[in-house]
Amino acid sequence: TDNNKAMLETAGLLTEDGKAAEANDLIIAVRLSPADDEAAIMNRVQELLDSSGRESEANASSNQPRTIDGALAALPDSNLALISVPGQYAAYEATKALDRGLHVLVFSDNVSIEDEVELKNHALNQGLFMLGPDCGTAIINGVPLGFANAVPRGRVGIVAASGTGLQQVSCLLAAQGHGISQALGVGSRDLSDQVGGAMMLEGIRVLNDDPNTDVIVLIS
């Protein structure tokens, strides 16, 4: 994505080939020192890629679902969908999930603010969560979603617009012997004027009614 390219460029790792990459391409950027064995490193990268390819072929042969309806047919008790597709398709897939009564976590970025507002209003009208877009982390009933740290269960609930803030606070709490009941990343724009804190407020409401949560931490 353009955001990933910008981060690589800031780090001095974006080459001309990287600039030409599209959303479905994979960029592997490596900074080497004179003492590094470039051939050994690249061979290891290739081994990892080849291993991933073999795993993908094995998964394909096990008839993994390729649609939300297919996944629901295989797992009819599912209640949450994690959406991780190129941004231009994320709202469409999230809407399908909400229409089927699923809570949604949108990992994808590059979703318009207009789509975000519409999705969150749609979710609230159905009593569902719509976490994201650009939601990189959550811990739901002890299950980590996206990028999450291994922390114990406990009685502290977190609602956060900052994913890195959520991770840092959950780790600090764990270091002090406190566990997490639920940790909800709501997306970096949830507290903007346009979105109005829709999921932050819903998260507060749900955690306030949760008998397993004694303390609620809010992170902007």
Q: For the segment 27-79, what is each residue's pLDDT rounded down to a tens digit?
A: 998 888 998 999 999 999 999 888 866 655 555 556 788 899 999 999 999 99
pLDDT at residue 148 above 90? no
CA atoms within 13 A on the CB side of 34: 0
Confidence at 202, pLDDT banded by 50, 70, 90: very high
CA distance 112 to 9: 24
Q: For the segment 81-123, what is each residue's pLDDT rounded down to a tens digit?
A: 999 999 999 999 999 999 999 999 999 999 999 999 999 999 9
Q: How far is CA 158 from each of CA 48, 124, 144, 150, 153, rounded to the nearest angstrom?
A: 35, 19, 13, 15, 12
Helix (H) or strand (E) holding 199: helix 198-208
Is 213 in contact with 155 (CB distance < 8 Å)? yes
pLDDT at residue 150 above 80? yes
**% of the chain at pLDDT higher than 90:** 77
Q: What is the CATH number of domain 68-219?
A: 3.40.50
pLDDT of residue 55: 57
- Give the type of residue at 106: V
CA distance 142 to 46: 34
pLDDT of residue 19: 93
H-helix segments, 21-154 = 38-61, 68-74, 87-99, 113-125
Question: Looking at 23-27, 32-36, 170-174, which range is the least confident one?
Answer: 23-27
| In the chain, domain spans | 2-61, 68-219
pLDDT of residue 10: 87
Could you tell me the strand order of the sheet in which 137-140 lies? Answer: 143-146, 137-140, 180-185, 153-160, 215-219
Collapse the DSSP code of 155 into the 3-class scheme (helix H, G, I; strand E, B; otherwise coil) and give the result: strand
